[in-house]
Amino acid sequence: MTLENMREGMQEAEVLVFLSAAVEKSADTLGPDLTGRCRQVFRDRLADYRENRRWPDWGGQLFHLNHYHWQEANRHAFDLAAEVARTLGVK
């Protein structure tokens, strides 16, 4: 199970790096709509990260709840990456 979690985490990181590089290098090719949707993925993830971090009353240890709707967030990022790849002609 640990290796599966690591693999999923690496895939998630790779898709975010791909989207970031596409926006940075090919925003003109992607167009304003697709570029905006890519940027929104990062804004949404940052908002989730900020919203779901808590300092509990039971000792001050940092506790995060980053598991909320992660499947939907990942599905959206991977679907968007597929659309970006088609637009850029990446195979």
Output the pLDDT for position 55: 54
pLDDT in tens, 29-60: 999 999 999 999 999 988 877 766 655 555 55
Tell me which residue has tokens 């990022």: 77
Q: Give percent of the chain with pLDDT exceeding 90.
A: 55
CA distance 18 to 20: 5
CA distance 40 to 33: 10
